[in-house]
Amino acid sequence: MSGAIHAIAVPKWGIEMIEGTLNAWRKDVGDDVALGEALLELESDKIVNTLEAGGSGVLRRQLAAPGQTLEVGALLGIIAGEDVEDAEVESFIAKWQAAEAAKAGPAGAKQVESAAPKPEAAPPARSNAGAAQGNVRVSPVVRRRAAELGLDLSQVRGSGRGGRITKEDVEEFGQSSDSEVLAAQAPSYDEQPLSGMRRTIARRMQGAKQDIPHFYLTIDLPLDGLNAHRARLNEEAGALRVSVNDLLIWCIGQALKAVPEINVQYGENDTIRQFRHVDISVGVATERGLITPVLRSAHCKSALEIASDMAVLAQKARAGKLSMDEIEGGTFTLSNLGMMDVREFAAIINPPQAAILAAGKSEQRVVIEDGEMCVRTRMTVTLSCDHRVVDGAVAAKFLQSLTHQIANLG
């Protein structure tokens, strides 16, 4: 709209998000921008998402470069009409940054003051005396590039705002003679920095193990009937394939519906929050770590619907295209390592949920039935529960219901 100025700022994608890393711009300065058009790719500690334009006009400023990590609310760029004077744009930027500085307080004032890059400023000379930069934050993109080149980031001098190390700094240092000296002094191990998502996983899992009193129940599930039912479904499903995991999700949904006392969370003010719906978080292994997309209303869906929905969620998870709505709000988690030949394991609860089911591989075992040895297909599963809100008898009742659901499929 003529005369309008639209800010492009780091959004808050989820309660825990405090910063985002700019991975790439989709538009260049001077390009026309339409409302809702993709502007840039931004990486949070959970996902990589595309930020869309909040207004129409021309991209007048890019205030951050790929590889930079900025706090929520920080200004990334400006969209404005062609008739808006440069002075108006600069005034808008100055007011925005002043407001951010006021929110941050004295400690954050200097950081916000230097938020806009100064293209005319000469970058500082590179040297191997960058160890003093230990407190300067480095984006996941820069850390990954440094790891690829085998460089020690403490030796790289940053040319970005506040001494921040950019991807270009790393690549330039990697081509310098200093890097050859460092290579000769390299330790006998490779050190990989934690990505934003891995840091979040580390923090959440450490907190869960420390704060949640876990207890564990393990049983062997009978899968012969499930496998026969799966074969019948796949004969009728056409191109869609139903997996053991899909049917396990369906059975979990029915068991949670039958035993809602385990479909709970430890709520605020010492309360138990019991859900009327069953939204199952399902672990999906990706290059960036374990993602748990949420299958909504699992208790209301057929096995074919679950298979279809999980295929889409898994594909989006591996491509880094999940939305926050697709990874938040689960009421129970399934983690299955059976496809990796893991026979049995115990998983850490995914807070704020109260239970997680760890599933091992499906395999034939010798069992005793009616005094006779026979071969049957079994899967060992371990249920981890939060003892603050789930009792052992309730957990056992859930596992009994799950066994009943699986044994009576079809």
Cα–Cα dist 177/157, whole Å:
14
Q: Are 120 and 98 in contact (CB under 8 A)?
A: no
Tell me which of 214, 229, 299, 387 is the catalytic residue: 387
Cα–Cα dist 54/79, whole Å:
9
Burial class (CB in 10 A: 0-12, 13-18, 19+), 308: middle
Peptide bond into 352 cis (omega under 30): yes
Cβ partners under 8 Å of residue 149, min gap 6? 170, 171, 174, 179
Helices 177-184 & 167-174 angle (0-180, nearest 10): 80
Q: Is 404 marked active-site?
A: no
H helix runs in 105-159, sequence order: 106-113, 140-149
Tokens 């330790």, located at residue:
187
Tokens 């899909």, located at residue:
246
**String of DSSP letters for 304-352:** HHHHHHHHHHHHHHHHT---GGGTS--SEEEEE-GGGT-----PPP-TT
Catalytically annotated residues: 387
